[in-house]
Amino acid sequence: MMQWASQTLLTAVICVLAATTSDAQTDTRVLLDHAVIVTSSDEPSFIQYGIQDLAQYLKELTGDQIPVLSPADNTTGVRIVVGTDAVRKLFPQSTFGDDPGDEGYVLRTVSKDGAHCVLASGATPRGTKIAMGLLMKKIHSDGMSAFVPVTLDVSGKPAFAKRGMHFNGWALNHPYTFRTWTEEDWQKYLDILSYQGVNLFYLWPFIEIMPVPLSPEDEAYLEECRRVVEYAQTKHGMEVWLMQCTNRVAKDRCGVADPRQRPYWRPSQEDLHPGNPEHFEAIMASREAMYRIINNADGVCNIDSDPGFLAEGTFDDYNKVLLGCRALLDRHNLKGEQAKLINWMLWGWGRKEKIQFEGLVDHQRLALRALIEGGPKPLWLISGQFPEYLPMCRDEGLISRTVYFPYGVIEREPGYPVTNVEIDAIRGLFNGPDAKFPGLAGIMGNVQTPLLQFPNLFYFTSLMCDSNYADVSEKDVLLEVSAHLFPDHRQVLADSYLALKEDDPAKVDALVAQLDQIIQNDTFGRPGVFGRKLFPNHRIVAENMLLQLRMRAAYRRLLAGVTPATPKAECEKLVCDYLEAYLAWDTTHGWHNIFGWEAWQLAAFPYGAIAGELRKNLSTDSEVNDFFADVAGSLSSKYDAHIVQQGCIEPFKSAVFAAKPEATEVGETS
């Protein structure tokens, strides 16, 4: 009897504590489980899409259907009020502060008639779009409940008017680069960019590898690009620019029908001379083929070099191409004269020494003045990748139509596919004078492998919207982006990102074990706002991380473990373990399918760091040959013998042979 009473008392205490905790949580949360969304029926398409996405996300988290109402008469309970008109109807006193601009936004919780309201609105619909992206990221879940903090109160305007993202890269295995993406893949990734406030999408359709007349496959691909452009515009209100080269034109399809898989750059995709009438006609025919199909873009950006270049080309030749493109845009583009023509100042057209910085700024100043005098009007500029161009853009009166493009800050291109975690470097860029150059129209980043670059891309795009985000530490940035991917495992994922720079293999191994268990048991939990848009499946980020962490741990063990005194069998195991981890990662993304194993041997591995130590261990040439023959035999049981030999054994063995036996210092190279 006494035991029963004790248990009853304990149960009562637990219930009281649970109720108290629940009440305390309720005081700090606005539950969205049975909320309704209130909006105006005349909001533009990108707000309507954002509302649909919000309702779907809440349904995924709570299991409840979220009604969308317009107007909100007689509505009770929690309301999510979206759009300026809907907010002002319920809260006439709502304001946006001083000088909100076109994209000023407000996101806050308030009370009305005894019920909570979440307000997401802007000075214009574009401001509302920013508020909705922030709201999607502020939503948390607990069990089958979704909520936002009761203290939610965020307002402001983006740090830059134009906030762009460019995709450049190579046709690696799906889904690592955009060259192999499906239309649905594009839609999902554009959704992710929209949550981050990106409003300028810079797309390269690669007309330069499509000979005219277009094949059915090439035409279908350009039609798909047109639909992707329309999606970005109508679903997210983005401005879309197309990229093109000045003078590179394809003569054939390199024997590959699908343009997604077609190789480049090849001799049959040649740089023509605009001063030659036949060549100029071929350039115009190629570009017209793209403009005719993708006729809905907001602008076309012409890169002055790399790819596309002519050492003997004159500024008049360059202007001739741009004037011809302007006429074609006026003829075919739905926006007519409103479609922008943008000049990307890179290495400069018509230089004898193409990729050489000396004399480049002076050359580009002359090129810009020639464009102003004889080129198409009005002219927009991309200043990339050199900040030294910015003063000349200001001096020529074009800084308000100049987008700064610090190419390679998020990810180098071409660069071996790895996840970059360089938050402090990006912070330095945005805190420095270049990103703060007065009068800039905007800023743009680029990615080669988008699904690998969530840390850097998240931080870069966050700073494009909110300059105060520069104060957030690297650890907190990684924790936040991880929460947007897998909320239930955000700490493990954030620690894993940091472990890509970890020197202690035991610490890396511990995270490998945790990630592997999550993947094997598929215990990811409900994905976050980014995670729900991953492709081809929700596991892709974790699986990529696992392979890279295994490679990191194996490399650090190899670096520390190979000494002149290490037994040869142990050296062999260390080398085999690393090369096996390297091949597992490389054959997943397919980098060497593009460049060949001979061109980029052991791309991820600074093997020179241990070659000297291994050479001291293997004192004779015969021992070196025997050692690597054994390693090759072990690896060839799992991987193609040619890949093993050309991609791993030959470069590593050559480095060992070249190492001086008297070398004593071990250090990691870059």
Quick one: tokens of 294? 């993708």
pLDDT at residue 385, rounded to an integer: 87
Amino acid letter for position 127: G
Tokens 């013998």: give the residue: 641
Strand pairing category for 380-383 and 340-345:
parallel
pLDDT tens, position by position, 524-580: 999 999 999 999 999 999 999 999 999 999 999 999 999 999 999 999 999 999 999
Strand pairing category for 380-383 and 402-404:
parallel
pLDDT at residue 358, rounded to an integer: 92
pLDDT at residue 594, rounded to an integer: 85
Tokens 């190492």: give the residue: 659
Helix, strand, or coil (residue 317): helix
Q: Which of 85-99, 165-179, 344-358 has the lowest mean pLDDT?
A: 85-99
Strand pairing category for 248-250 and 239-245:
unpaired
Helix, strand, or coil (residue 534): coil
pLDDT tens, position by position, 259-286: 999 999 999 999 999 999 999 999 999 9
pLDDT at residue 128, rounded to an integer: 97
Other beta carbons within 10 Å of 59: 13
Other beta carbons within 10 Å of 591: 25
pLDDT at residue 45, rounded to an integer: 98
> Which residues make beta-bridge pairs with 202?
166, 241
Q: Which position has the higher pLDDT, 366 or 22? A: 366
**Does the pLDDT of residue 94 top 70, yes or no?**
no
Other beta carbons within 10 Å of 69: 15
pLDDT at residue 20, rounded to an integer: 38
In angstroms, the CA 492 to CA 180 distance is: 30
Give the rounded distance of the alpha carbon of 111 from its chain centre: 38
Residue 544: enclosing H or E segment and its boundaries? helix 540-561
In angstroms, the CA 195 to CA 454 distance is: 13
Under 8 Å between Cβ of 450 and 415: no
Q: At what angle do helices 608-617 and 540-561 cross, to 10 degrees?
A: 40
Strand pairing category for 269-271 and 248-250:
antiparallel
In angstroms, the CA 9 to CA 20 distance is: 16
Give mean pLDDT, residues 458-463: 98
* Strands of 140-142's sheet in order across: 29-31, 145-149, 140-142
pLDDT at residue 90, rounded to an integer: 87
pLDDT at residue 72, rounded to an integer: 66
pLDDT at residue 169, rounded to an integer: 87
Strand pairing category for 145-149 and 29-31:
antiparallel
Report percent pLDDT > 90 for the chain. Answer: 84
Report percent pLDDT > 70 for the chain. Answer: 93
Q: Which of 37, 34, 10 is nearest to 136 (CA)?
A: 37
pLDDT at residue 659, rounded to an integer: 87
pLDDT at residue 5, rounded to an integer: 38
Q: Which position has the higher pLDDT, 10 or 227? A: 227
Under 8 Å between Cβ of 385 and 348: no
Other beta carbons within 10 Å of 250: 23
Q: Map out the domains of the chain with their CATH numbers.
A: 30-156 (3.30.379.10), 195-415 (3.20.20), 490-658 (no CATH)
**Does the pLDDT of residue 314 top 60, yes or no?**
yes
**Does the pLDDT of residue 662 top 60, yes or no?**
no
pLDDT at residue 73, rounded to an integer: 67
**Does the pLDDT of residue 669 top 50, yes or no?**
no
In angstroms, the CA 422 to CA 453 distance is: 10
Does a cis peptide bond (omega within 30 degrees of 0) precede residue 414?
yes
Other beta carbons within 10 Å of 18: 10
**Does the pLDDT of residue 241 top 50, yes or no?**
yes
Quick one: tokens of 347? 């290495």
Confidence of residue 356 (pLDDT cuts 50, 70, 90): confident
Confidence of residue 321 (pLDDT cuts 50, 70, 90): very high
Tokens 């000297």: give the residue: 612
**Does the pLDDT of residue 6 top 60, yes or no?**
no
Under 8 Å between Cβ of 123 and 96: yes
pLDDT tens, position by position, 324-333: 999 999 999 9
93 exposure class (CB count in 10 Å sphere: 0-12, 13-18, 19+): exposed
pLDDT at residue 667, rounded to an integer: 41
Q: Which of 29-43, 84-98, 143-157 has the lowest mean pLDDT?
A: 84-98
User: Can you give the C-alpha Rg of the chain in angstroms?
Assistant: 28
pLDDT at residue 609, rounded to an integer: 76
Q: How far apart are the first and last CA of the chain?
A: 73
Under 8 Å between Cβ of 107 and 135: yes
pLDDT tens, position by position, 379-429: 999 998 899 999 999 999 999 999 999 999 999 999 999 999 999 999 999
Q: What is the DSSP string of 638-658?
A: TS-HHIIIIIIIHHHHHHHHH
Q: Which of 94-108, 119-133, 277-291 has the lowest mean pLDDT?
A: 94-108
Report DSSP state, residue 162.
Answer: E
Confidence of residue 637 (pLDDT cuts 50, 70, 90): very high
pLDDT tens, position by position, 134-146: 999 999 999 999 9
pLDDT at residue 97, rounded to an integer: 64
pLDDT at residue 602, rounded to an integer: 72
Q: What is the DSSP string of 576-621?
A: HHHHHHHHHHHHHHTHHHHH-TTTTTTTT--THHHHHHHHHHS-SH
Under 8 Å between Cβ of 532 and 195: no
In angstroms, the CA 411 to CA 604 distance is: 15
pLDDT at residue 460, rounded to an integer: 98
Dihedral sign, CA of 40, 46, 50, 53?
positive
**Does the pLDDT of residue 603 top 80, yes or no?**
no
In angstroms, the CA 196 to CA 465 distance is: 8
Dihedral sign, CA of 41, 43, 46, 51?
negative
Confidence of residue 93 (pLDDT cuts 50, 70, 90): confident
pLDDT at residue 26, rounded to an integer: 56
Give mean pLDDT, residues 90-115: 85
Q: Which of 112, 74, 67 is nearest to 92 (CA)?
A: 112
Amino acid letter for position 611: A
Average pLDDT of the chain, as a whole number? 92
Helix, strand, or coil (residue 454): helix
Give mean pLDDT, residues 67-95: 86
Tokens 């690597």: give the residue: 628
Q: Which position has the higher pLDDT, 195 or 15? A: 195
Confidence of residue 664 (pLDDT cuts 50, 70, 90): very low
Quick one: tokens of 240? 């879309």
Q: What is the DSSP string of 7-56?
A: HHHHHHHHHHHHHHHHHHHHHHEEE-TT-EEEE-TT--HHHHHHHHHHHH
Helix, strand, or coil (residue 564): coil
pLDDT at residue 559, rounded to an integer: 94
**Does the pLDDT of residue 604 top 70, yes or no?**
no
Strand pairing category for 442-447 and 162-167:
parallel
pLDDT at residue 71, rounded to an integer: 75
Residues 6+ positions from 76 with CB-CB distance below 8 Å: 113, 115
Give mean pLDDT, residues 148-163: 96
Does a cis peptide bond (omega within 30 degrees of 0) precede residue 65?
no
In angstroms, the CA 256 to CA 217 distance is: 10
